[in-house]
Amino acid sequence: MKNLIRNISILLLICSFWPSQSQTLSGSGEYGFQAMDYMSDSLSKAIDAQVRANSKLLQAKGMLPHNKTSNPSFDWPAKVNAGFPYCSYWGISFFVDHDTNNPNHVLDFNCGSRTYDMSGFNHDGTDIFLWPFPQYLQDQGYVEVIAAAPGILVYKADGYPDHSCIISNQYDNEIVILHSNGIYTYYGHLKKNSLTTKNIGDTIALGETVGKAGSSGASSGPHLHFGVKDSLSHIIDPFTGPCNAGNSMWTIPRTYYTPNVNAALTHSSMPVFNPCPGLETLNLKDTFNVGDTFYCIAYLRDQTIGDTLFMSLTAPDNTVYDWTFIFTISYNNSWVYEYCWYDVTDLPGNWKFTARYKGSSCEHNFVFASPLSTNQLKIAPDDAFTISPNPATGFFRISSKHTEDAGLYDRVGNKIMSLKTNGNYDVSNIPGGIYIIRSSNHAAKIVIQGRN
Ligand SMILES: [Zn+2]
């Protein structure tokens, strides 16, 4: 059934539809936040030198295990802590730049341009940004930076401001871990005072929290810069592809794009993304009163042109109102919203907003409160009606226990014909599409297959 609805939705290029007495306005956009960073060659070399010097000192003290085995494999270097309220928290804005020329000569591992350079600087890591609401997620401390592999702490810098928004040449709060085979991982732009209390030379376990994601140092906004270098501080890109041969260093294979629904949320009005370092104004709302306007917004990462986002609202009576959105632009991070004023006088209760995109799915529960007391509610299961056949071609039959007045409405709320909740109806002259049949107590979707 789900596939049928999906296929029909694509076929008819339905952008949105709603039951009667509704007004909708849909749209989308990209949050103009491309998390990036910078470090001058001299500053970068100074940190690398400190990393190697600390390692040498530890080795001299016999504090480094003899672990020159094979290269380590890396788990994802971040996670969320308990209480994180959304479906996911990250996207990738930039990879390692494999073109050593600069500026304006970029090449990522996939031979694409999801990387950057500047004069005298080639991006030397993977930038994992926080999304949605990067400033909010940073301030709440939801995103923990964790060791991608077990190792020894060999560098730690803390105390730098963590709400940086500009690219300049400055130190950041950073952790470096030494792993087997002399491979180092760098964790940059951490939140001030969030770093592990462990000291240089202490062991770090796989997945151990070493700090929280922030925006310290030369950073355009909250993100983790995850860097990998060898024993001589040569840059390693853990991703492999046509422009970076070799074996991937990820424990679980990582792809160039990882499309996902990071959040599906309801709002009282559109969120406001204030200029960095301002906190976003989320305008989240989960309980509405009858007649309230509300916004259903899906927050995504890695959406590409031509792909379809499926969104649906499930009413307390399990009626599903669904619609699709087809991307006309490729985005790293974006939102898609539907604005609705919806007369739910007869549908108070628990609703569910679902967004599905390329195999990922995210749900959000919200409530429409009834102005009526519970014993006045007119919800009665035996008021439900059935429609057959559905999809209908030429005619359909509607039946119920109680005959009521009802109407057939198109997706923008125009009443097409009057009905009773018992009877046979000729729809051979009605254009194909998705319609709503609505009585005083019940609403249901009907697909009418037009005749060519
Ligand atoms: Zn970076």
The verdict on 97 and 79 lying in the same domain is yes
Report yes or no on 251 lying in a domain: no
Q: Note whether residue 253 is domain-resident.
A: no
**Cα of 226 from ligand 1 centre, angstroms:** 7
For residue 380, what pLDDT is reported?
A: 41
- DSSP assignment of 135-151: HHHHHHT-EEEE-SS-E
Q: Give the distance (Å) from ligand 1 centre to CA of residue 129.
A: 10
Number of domains in the chain: 3
Tell how far the Cα of 38 is from the centroid of ligand 1, in angstroms: 7
Residues 224 and 350 in one domain: no
Task: Please tell me whether residues 142 and 278 are part of one structural domain.
Answer: no
Tell me which residue of 347, 288, 359 sits closest to 320, measured CA to CA: 347
- Given 344, 359, 376, the domain boundary residue is 376
**Residue 214 Cα, ligand 1 centroid: separation in angstroms?**
12
Distance 94 CA to ligand 1 centre (A): 7
Structural domain boundaries enclosing 443: 381-448
Same domain for 185 and 74: yes
The answer to whether residue 353 is domain-embedded is yes
Q: In DSSP terms, which residues pair with 354 in a beta bridge?
A: 312, 363
Q: How far is the CA of 45 from the centre of ligand 1 (A)?
A: 16
pLDDT tens digits, one per residue of 112-171:
999 999 999 999 999 999 999 999 999 999 999 999 999 999 999 999 999 888 888 889
Residue 367 one-letter amino acid: V
Cα(121) to centroid(ligand 1), Å: 11
Please give the pLDDT value at position 96.
98
Q: Output the domain CATH number for residue 189.
A: 2.70.70.10
How many Å lie between the centroid of ligand 1 and the Cα of residue 274?
23
pLDDT tens digits, 195-231: 999 999 999 999 999 999 999 999 999 999 999 999 9
Among the listed residues 401, 420, 409, 393, the one whose alpha carbon sits nearest the alpha carbon of residue 444: 409
| 208 Cα–ligand 1 center, Å | 21
Q: What is the CATH number of the domain that holds 417?
A: 2.60.40.10
Q: How far apart are CA 268 and CA 134, in angstroms?
A: 20
Q: Report yes or no on whether pTM surpasses 0.85.
A: no
Task: Report the C-alpha gap between 385 and 404 in whole angstroms.
Answer: 10
Q: Are residues 369 and 400 in the same domain?
A: no
What is the Å distance from ligand 1's center to 95 Cα?
A: 8
C-alpha 172 – ligand 1 centre gap (Å): 12
Based on the fold, state whether residues 227 and 325 are members of the same structural domain.
no
Distance of CA 328 to the CA centre of its chain: 18
- What is the distance in A from the centroid of ligand 1 to the CA of 160? 17
In a domain, residue 137? The reply is yes
Alpha-carbon distance of 214 to 130, in angstroms, equals 9
Q: How far does residue 36's CA lie from ligand 1's centre (Å)?
A: 5
Distance 413 CA to ligand 1 centre (A): 49
CB 209 within 8 A of CB 196: yes
Do 185 and 151 touch, CB atoms closer than 8 A? yes
434/336 same-domain check: no
Give the residue among 225, 275, 215 at the shortest CA–CA distance from 31: 275
Given 346, 376, 406, which residue is the final one in a domain? Answer: 376
Domain finish residue from 236, 270, 285: 236
The reply to whether 301 and 199 lie within a common domain is no
Same domain, 21 and 57: no
Q: Tell me, yes or no, whether 35 lies in a domain.
A: no
Task: Give the side-chain half-sphere CA count within 13 A for 182.
Answer: 10
The pLDDT value recorded for residue 7 is 30
What pLDDT sits at residue 327? 86
**37 Cα to the center of ligand 1, angstroms:** 5
User: Which parts of the chain have pLDDT scores under 70?
Assistant: 1-26, 32-33, 66-67, 290-291, 339-346, 370-383, 411-413, 441, 450-452
Neighbours of ion ligand 1 (CB under 5 A): 37, 125, 127, 225
Whole-number Å distance, alpha carbon 239 to ligand 1 midpoint, is 15
Residue 389 sits in the same domain as residue 371? no
Using the mean position of ligand 1's atoms as its centre, give its distance from the Cα of residue 366 in Å.
37
In this structure, are residues 95 and 237 in contact, taking their beta carbons and an 8 Å threshold?
Answer: yes
Q: Ligand 1 centroid to 131 CA: how many Å? A: 16
What's the pLDDT score for residue 228?
98
Q: pLDDT at position 3, please?
A: 34
Domain-embedded: residue 342: yes
Residue 244 forms part of a structural domain: no
Cβ(152)–Cβ(210) under 8 Å?
A: no
Query: 140 and 200: one domain?
Result: yes
Q: What is the whole-number distance in angstroms between the Cα of residue 283 and the centre of ligand 1?
A: 30
Structure tokens at 89: 């928290």
In this structure, is residue 243 part of a structural domain? no
Distance 122 CA to ligand 1 centre (A): 10
Residue 324 has a pLDDT of: 83
Which CATH number is 347's domain given? 2.60.40.3880
125 Cα to the center of ligand 1, angstroms: 5
d(CA 187, ligand 1 centre) in Å: 10
DSSP letter for each residue of 352-374: EEEEEETTEEEEEEEEEE-SS-G
Kindly state whether residues 386 and 358 are assigned to the same domain: no
